Structure 1
Amino acid sequence: MYDLFRRWQRGGTWKRIFAELQTQADSKNLITWDINVDSTVCRAHCRRSRPAASPSSRTTTGSDARAAA
């Protein structure tokens, strides 16, 4: 039985059966097609990474230069 199942799976038989059943159910309005977008996924994919500020990138003032010398 398992070999038959795997053969049908590899050959696409199960996908064709599912597609036909889905088509028949949809033609009888037995399927409600909803689209759901999870905003957490969108936010994670749209986020820009910012480079970390390095200590040497800050503005040096005259008093900082004298203290470092």
Structure 2
Amino acid sequence: IILPSVRLIISFLLVFTVSSRISFRNLFTGTFPFIIVILIPSIPITLPPFIRVLSLILGLHLLSPLSKVL
């Protein structure tokens, strides 16, 4: 029960940190990866860990192009 809450907090902190650095011009291009990162902790625990890991990798992969912009 504690783990999803911690991941949710970390995800919001990550989104806030990245979005505060990004300019308003690039805000819309980064909205989709941010949504993915927010949705990662809300993935049901009943799903196999493999699928959850894939979702995490997908979210990080979508964020990687943004790191070049920052």
With the length of structure 1 as denominator, give the TM-score of the two structures.
0.32
With the length of structure 2 as denominator, give the TM-score of the two structures.
0.31
Larger Rg: 1
